[in-house]
Amino acid sequence: MNRLIQIINEEISAIKKDKDEEIFDYHSITEDAWSDPKHSAQDFQKIHFDFENDDSTDEKKTFYVKKNLRKDQPIKYEINAELFEAGGDWEIPVLYFRLEFTHDYGIVRFGKGRKVEYVWDLEKEKAGGLSSGYVIIPPNEAGNKLQKGDKDNWFAYTDSDTPKEKQKELRITDADKKKAWQWLQDLLEKIIDERHEMLDDDKGSKISEPKDTAE
């Protein structure tokens, strides 16, 4: 027994860490948290692709919109966004956004009796369950390259049914990413204009220059 303890002690080493250094790996926890919102967005928008490969493009922005509840009562909407690219090994990648509405002032609507236009209008559990996090997928005309399926469904192109010369044309480009970001900005301006509840007239939302947080 003493020899066993000696062997164990010889094979274990301890390195003291700085008090501000994070020693736990929370990546799997955060990725698990986004799993349901990702699939909720796919079901809601009827856009289907695999998440075998699911990587950030490292493009991140914070959008701000200033509005007034009254002329003398300014507020500021704030939405964080990160652009991701996902797909199976056999699929042409698809772009999607992870969003966090940190200050939404009621533009995120969910619950019974509400008009459902976007995934964040669903009841919280059906939208994925995160308190202020949602996923939205740009459509075919906004950076993604999807093929039409039966009914209203859209799918990622696959290598097996796409000629090699066309596969190159379908790859995501910087121009596609730029188009997706513009689509998102236009969408946020639209929903804030339509849903902002105010006592004094204040139309014509314009998002301020997004803060780029990519390193």
Q: What is the pLDDT of residues 173-194, one digit of tens each?
A: 999 999 999 999 999 999 999 8
Going by pLDDT thresholds of 50, 70 and 90, the confidence category of residue 129 is confident
Residue 80 CA to residue 64 CA, distance in Å, equals 9
What is the three-class DSSP state of 159?
Answer: helix
Q: Is the pLDDT of residue 8 over 60?
A: no
Residue 207 CA to residue 65 CA, distance in Å, equals 5
Question: Which pLDDT does position 24 carry in this prediction?
Answer: 85
Determine phi and psi for 155, rounding to 5 degrees. -135, 155
Which CA distances in Å does 104 have to 13, 27, 89, 148, 195? 49, 27, 37, 33, 10
| Token couple for 147 | 């093929």
Which residue did the predictor score with more confidence, 142 or 150? 142
pTM: 0.82
What is the average pLDDT score of the chain?
86
Q: Distance between terminal CA atoms of the chain?
A: 53
pLDDT one-digit tens code per residue, 26-79: 888 888 999 999 999 999 999 999 999 999 999 999 999 998 888 788 889 999
Domain segments of the chain as ranges: 33-212
Q: What percent of the chain has pLDDT over 70?
A: 85
Q: Is the pLDDT of residue 200 over 60?
A: no
CB-CB contact of 60 with 214 (8 Å): yes
What is the three-class DSSP state of 50?
Answer: coil
| Token couple for 180 | 């997706």
Residue 195 CA to residue 156 CA, distance in Å, equals 32
Determine phi and psi for 21, rounding to 5 degrees. -90, 130
Q: What is the mean pLDDT of residues 191-201?
A: 78
What is the three-class DSSP state of 67?
Answer: strand
Q: Is the pLDDT of residue 7 over 60?
A: no
| Helix%, strand%, coil% for the chain, nearest 5 | 30, 25, 45
- Output the CA torsion sign for 47, 48, 49, 54: positive
Q: What percent of the chain has pLDDT over 90?
A: 52
Question: Which pLDDT does position 114 carry in this prediction?
Answer: 73
Question: Which pLDDT does position 125 carry in this prediction?
Answer: 87
Question: Which pLDDT does position 45 carry in this prediction?
Answer: 97
| Token couple for 99 | 């969003």
| Token couple for 63 | 């959008």
Instruction: Compute CA 174 distance to the chain's CA centroid, rounded to the nearest angstrom.
Output: 18
Going by pLDDT thresholds of 50, 70 and 90, the confidence category of residue 3 is low
Going by pLDDT thresholds of 50, 70 and 90, the confidence category of residue 210 is low
